[in-house]
């Protein structure tokens, strides 16, 4: 069965028009590594959302890490991307994406663009993605890479403090935060539609919990997903 699934993913990668992003020449040199990542790191560990699995089988993760680390792009772990930040472990990206339960017509906010990898996965899954990054060098590089890979039509990038969200573009159907505050930012909760989902790691360096918060008409429902370790969510000192 796993061989059949791997073959199906490789076929999907080769079909014209599959996904939203055109591939650069040579990028499919990593197609087998992507399929293996999906099979061994994601499916084998309980990721069941077929749309998430297919999205992560399409997004060229190796194009969104430093060139010196491309050979390790599909390793089972985080990688440094500069400026003291990291690209998350593929399983964590898949877990967060699956928890959002996206169907394809949603507007999604991401706090913490980083390399742009999670934003690219979201662009495969949703109708429109807004992504905020505090570090100027990362924001500029991610915007260039995401445009180069063909995600520009679906993505809105912004340099700024993600704690406050993106009020003028709100409300959002889903929000994902890729750095850890010590508490849930209230502005993000307020920018969700009723029924909207927020996935966020919360805690300090001593321990963090990945949370799923669902906004309802009567309040917020909280669910703990798994222990994680993210870089801290930094704030703009001028805001």
Whether residue 233 lies inside any domain: the answer is no
- The yes-or-no answer on residue 88 being catalytic is yes
Domain, as residue range, for 67: 2-228
Whether residue 27 lies inside any domain: the answer is yes
Annotated catalytic residue, options 21, 88, 97, 115 = 88
Buried b (16+ CB within 10 A) or exposed e, 37-64: bbbebbbeeebebeebbbbbbbbbbbbb
Whether residue 238 lies inside any domain: the answer is no
Whether residue 123 lies inside any domain: the answer is yes
User: Taking the alpha carbons of 23, 42, 200, 205 in that order, is the dihedral positive or negative?
Assistant: negative
Whether residue 62 lies inside any domain: the answer is yes
Q: What is the tally of structural domains in the chain?
A: 1
Give the list of residues 6+ apart from residue 155 with CB closer than 8 angstroms, or none: 119, 123, 129, 130, 131, 146
Helices (H), ranges, 101-239:
117-125, 136-148, 186-190
| pTM of this structure | 0.86
pLDDT tens for the 239 residues of the chain, in order = 434 333 333 333 333 334 444 444 335 689 999 999 999 999 999 999 999 999 999 999 999 999 999 999 999 999 999 988 999 999 999 999 999 999 999 999 999 999 999 999 999 999 999 999 999 999 999 999 999 999 999 999 999 999 999 999 999 999 999 999 999 999 999 999 999 999 999 998 888 999 999 999 999 999 999 999 999 998 876 66
Helices (H), ranges, 15-71:
31-36, 50-58
Whether residue 235 lies inside any domain: the answer is no
State the CATH number of the domain containing residue 6. Answer: 3.40.50.150
Interatomic CA distance for residues 52 and 125, integer angstroms: 7
């Amino acid at each position: 069965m796993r061989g059949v699934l791997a073959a199906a993913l490789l076929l999907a990668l080769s079909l014209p028009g599959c996904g939203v992003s055109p591939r650069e020449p040579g990028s499919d040199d990593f197609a087998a590594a992507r399929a293996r990542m999906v099979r061994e790191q994601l499916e084998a560990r309980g990721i069941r959302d077929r749309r998430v699995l297919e999205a992560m089988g399409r997004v060229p993760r190796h194009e969104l890490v430093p060139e010196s680390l491309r050979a390790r792009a599909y390793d089972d772990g985080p990688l440094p991307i500069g400026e003291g930040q990291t690209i998350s472990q593929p399983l964590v990206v898949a877990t967060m994406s699956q928890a959002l339960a996206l169907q394809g017509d949603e507007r999604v906010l991401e706090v913490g663009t980083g390399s742009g990898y999670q934003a690219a996965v979201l662009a495969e899954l949703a109708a429109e993605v807004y992504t905020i990054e505090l570090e100027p060098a990362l924001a500029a590089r991610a915007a260039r890479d995401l445009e180069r890979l063909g995600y520009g039509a679906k993505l809105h990038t912004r340099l700024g403090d993600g704690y406050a969200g993106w009020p003028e573009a709100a409300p959002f159907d889903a929000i994902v935060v890729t750095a850890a505050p010590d508490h849930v930012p209230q502005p993000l909760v307020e920018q969700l539609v009723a029924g909207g989902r927020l996935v966020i790691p919360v805690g300090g360096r001593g321990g963090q919990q990945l949370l799923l918060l669902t906004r309802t008409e009567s309040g917020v429902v909280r669910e703990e997903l798994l222990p994680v370790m993210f870089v801290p969510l930094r704030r703009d000192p001028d805001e």
